[in-house]
C-alpha cells in the first residue's frame, strides 16, 4: 500500500510503501519530535512508490519527504476523493487548502493586506454597486463609497502610503466630472490619478 503522511498541519509529506501503513505511522511517530498524521492510503506496490517519487521529484526534500505542494494534494484527492476539503475563509473569502504551506502563507498575506486597508473583492463590488445608485441621485456618500472601494483595491495591489486626503479628493473630482458628463475634465483628472500610481478604473458612464 502507498501511504501519504504529513508532518504537522502544513509540513512536508512522506510518500512511502508499506503492507501496514498504520503500524508504519506509529514507528515514524516514535522517532519524530513533531506530530505526524496519515493523510491517505491508496493501492500500490514498491514500483508505484518509485513512480510517484519520480513524478514529484521537483518537490523532493530528502529521502521519501516532499514539499507540501498543491500538486501532491490534488493527486491524493484524485486517488482518494474527499480526502481534502478546500476551505473558504469567512473573513476574506479566499479559498485555499489548509495542508498546503504556500496556500496558508497566501491566506496570511491576504489578511495582512486587509489590515492595511484592503477589502475582499465582493465587499468592494457591493460598495461600488450601492455607490453608483446613490451617486446618480446626487448623494455624496454614494461617491464616497465608490472612492473608498477604489482606495481599498489600490491598497491591495500595493499602492504605497500616500497623502490619503489628496487621493480621495482626486477620486471624488473624477467622479464628479464623470457623473456630470464632463469627459474632458474626467480624462484630465484620470491621467493625474494614474500618474500618482493609483489604479482607478476609467469609466465613461456611471454603472453598477
Residue whose grid cell is 519524530: 32
Residue 140 located in a structural domain: yes
Domain co-membership, 133 together with 77? no
Residue 104 pLDDT:
86
Provide the 10 A C-beta neighbour count for residue 15.
Answer: 24
For residues 19 and 1, the answer to whether their CB atoms sit within 8 Å is yes
Residue 78 located in a structural domain: yes
- pLDDT values of the chain reduced to their tens digit, one per residue, 208 residues: 999 999 988 899 999 999 989 889 988 988 787 899 999 999 999 999 999 999 999 999 999 999 999 899 989 988 887 777 778 899 998 878 787 777 888 899 999 989 888 899 899 999 999 999 999 999 999 999 999 999 888 888 777 776 788 888 989 999 999 999 998 998 888 888 777 666 555 444 333 3
Residue 129 located in a structural domain: yes
- Domain boundary (29, 61, 85) is at 85
Provide the 10 A C-beta neighbour count for residue 143.
Answer: 24
Domain that holds residue 17: 2-85
Does the pTM surpass 0.75? The reply is: no
Amino acid at each position: 500500500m502507498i501511504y501519504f503522511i504529513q508532518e504537522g498541519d502544513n509540513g512536508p509529506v512522506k510518500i512511502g510503501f508499506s503492507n501496514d501503513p498504520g503500524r508504519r505511522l506509529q514507528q515514524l511517530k516514535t522517532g519524530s519530535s513533531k506530530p505526524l498524521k496519515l493523510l491517505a492510503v491508496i493501492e500500490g506496490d514498491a514500483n508505484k512508490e518509485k513512480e510517484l517519487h519520480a513524478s514529484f521529484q521537483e518537490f523532493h526534500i530528502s529521502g521519501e519527504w516532499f514539499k507540501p505542494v498543491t500538486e501532491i494534494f490534488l493527486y491524493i484527492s484524485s486517488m482518494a476523493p474527499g480526502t481534502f476539503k478546500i476551505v473558504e475563509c469567512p473573513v476574506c473569502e479566499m479559498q485555499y487548502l489548509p495542508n498546503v504551506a504556500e496556500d496558508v502563507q497566501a491566506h496570511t498575506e491576504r489578511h495582512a493586506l486587509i489590515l492595511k486597508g484592503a477589502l475582499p473583492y465582493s465587499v468592494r463590488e457591493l460598495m461600488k454597486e450601492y455607490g453608483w445608485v446613490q451617486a446618480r441621485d446626487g448623494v455624496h456618500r454614494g461617491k464616497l463609497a465608490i472612492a473608498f472601494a477604489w482606495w481599498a483595491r489600490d491598497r491591495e495591489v500595493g499602492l504605497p502610503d500616500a497623502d490619503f486626503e489628496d487621493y480621495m479628493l482626486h477620486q471624488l473630482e473624477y467622479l464628479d466630472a464623470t457623473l456630470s458628463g464632463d469627459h474632458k475634465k474626467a480624462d484630465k483628472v484620470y491621467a493625474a490619478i494614474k500618474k500618482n500610481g493609483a489604479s482607478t478604473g476609467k469609466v465613461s458612464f456611471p454603472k453598477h
